[in-house]
Structure 1
């Protein structure tokens, strides 16, 4: 997943806290705005499902 997310324009770094069989936390850092649809597409391309955290 880090490889796919790292290809998204504007991405500076990617951190994945993998939880096998559960929800994994992914943090994408950037110095400029990143297209949320591009992030979602990269996660899908890596074979995972995006679940947005709501406050």
Structure 2
């Protein structure tokens, strides 16, 4: 199962790495890919959405579920 998030506040590669690592530490996450240019994260696994959002905000960035049109 994939979860897509919109991430705000990233400005550099360090930010991208911090968000990626935070997401990968969440229980149930198998992999996380964060794209600095688009501000999107794709998380693979069965992690709970509140835990994913909390992991990102605890690093100092904004996060919300990506809504597909």
Q: Where is the strand percentage greater, Structure 1 or Structure 2?
A: 2
Structure 1 residue 9 displacement after superposition: 0.4
Unaligned runs of 5+ in 1: none
Unaligned runs of 5+ in 2: 1-18
| Two-structure CA RMSD over aligned residues (Å) | 1.3
Describe the superposition over 1:20-40 as per-residue Cα deviations: whole angstroms up to 9, x where unpaired.
Answer: xxx50100011xx21100000
Instruction: Please list every run of at least 4 consecutive aligned residues from structure 1 whose deviation after the TM superposition is greater than 2 angstroms.
Output: none
